[in-house]
Structure 1
């Protein structure tokens, strides 16, 4: 027992609420260390409602984007506990840490782009769903990617795609590796002749709006389980079966069946009222019937002064009576409840999918990952990047099926690629007649 206590001194301080000792220990101990349950000291501080400890740990750069053995982050636990100030602080720190991480990788990324040959590439996206009527209204898109030096241009008709909505238009994303980080990424609205710098920091109102949405929605942890995934050669022919080989665009390709692809989804809703549950159910039902694709989950009510009515903190759960010894001696990942009793719904869905690999494609997977990292802030590209990071069969994935949402799958085809040394510099610049509109794309 003594060994376990000595192994996690930060956690034990948080459990005792000893802020003074915690402050002293943070000078010499790893703030990111996890205990046997996968909880960081920040996890415990949030679940136990130790707000002073939370703020102290955040001030010492405690990581927010970490998960315990149950698959939950400190932010998820904060939403469950329901203290608005804590949720806001964690959300701000999460966004700051994500920016810092990206900026740390930026010099190497820009250098990798410079070393890569200039090219033009086309990706076709076809979205499909097993939900009745939904496939009829899902978008499709041919995405055009041009790369010159340390600059990338992406032309697409799909502006945004998320759980409750998508937005289509005629847009271009410009990344300029030679610019300062705050000016590196720009989005163009080619119909309205407007442009917007993709901001690195949200306004106070945007943060507060996001907190309202978090506090009134399910806490969702969805991940593609990759441990059980295997690849087997896809077969063709009715009588004489043989390995399936086809041309994808101009590229000879070998097809593989992806086995064991499972999307695991878990939802927590102990922080939601009956009214929240009714509203959220109505939104989902409207969406799956092919109704409005607008996001109705944001804050709508205004007070007498025209200001948004903000979600209030929940009454705290009963104070935890658990001792440190009872917590740390519990079986790994199965400790007694520390905060609000959990209401969790788990589901898993298996996907039948294929991937076509080509040895002829001129781009390497590593090169593609560098390009996707630049445009990963756009949700559907981040999903593609996650898939390509898997251990794939030999070659380049010229055609892929990947789950984008629990109800939606995307079929992505790399239908054209050519190295080009004649791409005009003007293609990667904001047209001079475009007007800046900082709020044209509010979610970017």
Structure 2
């Protein structure tokens, strides 16, 4: 029997607890109406719509109750689909976390409440799109007020004990242009699989001002986000169909996918972060030159990365999931010893030793590289495998994340949308990233601490058997300068556009959310991966762009421009090479300056082919069918091999 007294101060909670649907509908009817897509067109209207949204959230999303449950969480726990439908129709934020760090949708899936999970899944796509549309005018206006610039950010790995790390570890230089409310990012690094490089020459174009080609064949609305794949010469609209109501088949498929794998919630907590300056031999603050900027060096203490896992009844075990993954890799002809062609046997042993050091069981601390490990008690359902992918770059680990937006076909459309603001304490990468809600990581941390205390007091419980949490302490190193032309608060909204598409940018954004000394900017960040390996993120270049009207857009088409450039000396770089970006290297000052002057970076190539959502679905279906066929063939070959081996043993 629910104790109603603890909900006396919250009318929405009380109505849900009592199953008083008439009262709940009456509460919802008195709230302001949520602005729909297309109704907000100016910055003033956007600000007003946000005020209305906050007023709605203050009633139906409040968490000042035991367990920090929203009314939607309570409806899930009470197995009440009627209340869940009323709340979701009113615009409830399903992604907010309770004190244990789980959203209402995750709770519904873990409790096998498929009807409630489908209600939430049916509503969250239109709600996310409406939220994006009402914030878009404010995002565009904010971007316009920031100075126009060209910037380069490099990502590469280094190791104190593995000199050959540069040959196998991924690296890239991200080139970013900002002009008006338009943003362009060129990159060649799509992602990581352990240390396997996933290359993809691509460009992200956020067109806050819209786009119209000279021939009139291409017209894009303001706020469009497109992706240019340069190798395939294809263009996709990342937000195509984002506002469409999902079909019942899509909703059922989405919920079924969530139920097939266990829940994983990786996150990084910087709420307790503290900066300690490096001292030189004179006991003075250590300074270094990073690019053109003089920076002081700091250690960042008390940063915690965690992976929380939760068993979903009836879902595949981690071993089964990994087995399927291994079969797919084998069927696709992938060799597990992918480093054998670039490393000697001795170097391979050094690499394996370093990775084992980073994934060893039990607590360990490395003062020099700033890695600390710990694990909460509870039955670890594949936690040892989580350790190997705690930084989110291991394919097996990321594939586990049934609640990760990158593994969700429907929510992929929203993985590029910008978050609410730059006041995040930290982020948890789960489905909530599709809407970028305001997440209180401090609350989540307190919830985890409380959960840990409960486990220690009560001993093994049913919850303990199904939940586990792995934590790793980090000690990043930051190079801070007061001279960088951009402020952190100015850069964060721009990184938000890329953060959920590019993991390296996402990790950088998380660290930037901590409180840095006033007026400073981190021009370089070193993030430990394992005790002997770290990734370096460096802002290597920043140049203000000339006003847009002074850009000299070439008169000919991009293809003709490329042909003209090819007639120059061999040392010149073609237009298409500039479009693709360098493979981990940095362009010279003269090269980057020349191309910024000669070519409009926001020009869409006319010889590229547009690929719509239906074509992408067709390709995905064909890829799945091919993978399934390969798995069957591999299984058949394995069966024949086993039979042949058994017959030989019988003959002997």
SS of 1:374's equivalent in the other structure is helix
Change (3 A) 1:122 1:92: farther
> Is the CA contact 1:79–1:214 (under 8 Å) kept in the aligned structure 2?
yes
Q: Distance in 2 between matches of 1:361 and 1:354?
A: 18
Change (3 A) 1:150 1:26: closer
Within the alignment, does 1:218 sit opposite 2:259 as a pair? no
CA deviations on 1:124-182 (whole Å, 9 max, x unpaired) are: 1125899x999975522110001122211100012356899974211001111112668
CA deviations on 1:10-55 (whole Å, 9 max, x unpaired) are: 3233234333343234335821122232101100111222112111
> Is the CA contact 1:183–1:198 (under 8 Å) kept in the aligned structure 2?
no
SS of 1:173's equivalent in the other structure is strand
Change (3 A) 1:181 1:83: farther
> Is the CA contact 1:144–1:154 (under 8 Å) kept in the aligned structure 2?
yes
SS of 1:42's equivalent in the other structure is helix
Within the alignment, does 1:428 sit opposite 2:428 as a pair? no
CA drift of 1:220 comes to: 2.0
**2:514 alignment counterpart:** 390
**2:43 alignment counterpart:** none
Q: Distance in 2 between matches of 1:396 and 1:403?
A: 20
> TM-score normalised to the size of structure 1?
0.78
Within the alignment, does 1:78 sit opposite 2:78 as a pair? no
> TM-score normalised to the size of structure 2?
0.54
> Is the CA contact 1:174–1:429 (under 8 Å) kept in the aligned structure 2?
no
**2:208 alignment counterpart:** 177
1:280 to 288, 297, 321: 321
Change (3 A) 1:432 1:263: same
SS of 2:514's equivalent in the other structure is coil
Change (3 A) 1:397 1:297: closer
Change (3 A) 1:296 1:7: closer
> Is the CA contact 1:387–1:402 (under 8 Å) kept in the aligned structure 2?
no
Change (3 A) 1:272 1:356: farther
Matches within 5 A, 1:351-370: 351-370=474-493
**2:146 alignment counterpart:** 116
1:68 to 82, 98, 115: 98
> Is the CA contact 1:209–1:298 (under 8 Å) kept in the aligned structure 2?
no
Matches within 5 A, 1:282-301: 282=323, 293=395
2:279 to 224, 235, 238: 235
Q: Distance in 1 between matches of 2:259 and 2:69?
A: 22
**1:198 alignment counterpart:** 238
**2:52 alignment counterpart:** none
Change (3 A) 1:261 1:128: farther
**2:471 alignment counterpart:** 348
CA deviations on 1:324-362 (whole Å, 9 max, x unpaired) are: xxxxxxxx987x9xxx95611012101121011112211
**2:424 alignment counterpart:** none
> Is the CA contact 1:235–1:244 (under 8 Å) kept in the aligned structure 2?
yes
CA drift of 1:251 comes to: 1.3
CA drift of 1:248 comes to: 1.0
Change (3 A) 1:33 1:283: same
Unaligned runs of 5+ in 1: 300-331
**2:537 alignment counterpart:** 412
**2:66 alignment counterpart:** 36
Matches within 5 A, 1:259-274: 259-273=301-315
Task: Give the CA RMSD over aligned residues.
Answer: 3.9
**1:304 alignment counterpart:** none
CA drift of 1:115 comes to: 2.3
Within the alignment, does 1:373 sit opposite 2:417 as a pair? no
Change (3 A) 1:226 1:192: same
**1:145 alignment counterpart:** 176
Q: Distance in 1 between matches of 2:105 and 2:193?
A: 20
> Is the CA contact 2:177–2:183 (under 8 Å) kept in the aligned structure 1?
yes
Mean CA deviation greater in 278-287 or 210-219:
278-287
1:189 to 225, 229, 246: 229
**1:400 alignment counterpart:** 525
CA deviations on 1:200-250 (whole Å, 9 max, x unpaired) are: 52765765554333212221223222232100102344xx44322111112
Change (3 A) 1:190 1:50: same
> Is the CA contact 2:170–2:196 (under 8 Å) kept in the aligned structure 1?
no
Q: Distance in 1 between matches of 2:324 and 2:599?
A: 45
Give the number of equivalent residue pairs. 403
Q: Distance in 1 between matches of 2:10 and 2:196?
A: 44
Mean CA deviation greater in 16-25 or 132-141:
132-141
Highest relative contact order (Cα 8 Å, sep 6+), 1 or 2? 1
CA drift of 1:252 comes to: 0.9
Q: Distance in 2 between matches of 1:427 and 1:55?
A: 46
> Is the CA contact 1:49–1:81 (under 8 Å) kept in the aligned structure 2?
no
CA deviations on 1:80-114 (whole Å, 9 max, x unpaired) are: 11233432332343343333333333222212222
SS of 1:75's equivalent in the other structure is helix
Change (3 A) 1:135 1:3: farther
Mean CA deviation greater in 363-372 or 19-28:
19-28
Change (3 A) 1:403 1:101: farther
**2:349 alignment counterpart:** none
Q: Distance in 2 between matches of 1:136 and 1:219?
A: 35
> Is the CA contact 2:157–2:165 (under 8 Å) kept in the aligned structure 1?
no
Q: Distance in 2 between matches of 1:74 and 1:162?
A: 30
Q: Distance in 2 between matches of 1:182 and 1:211?
A: 33
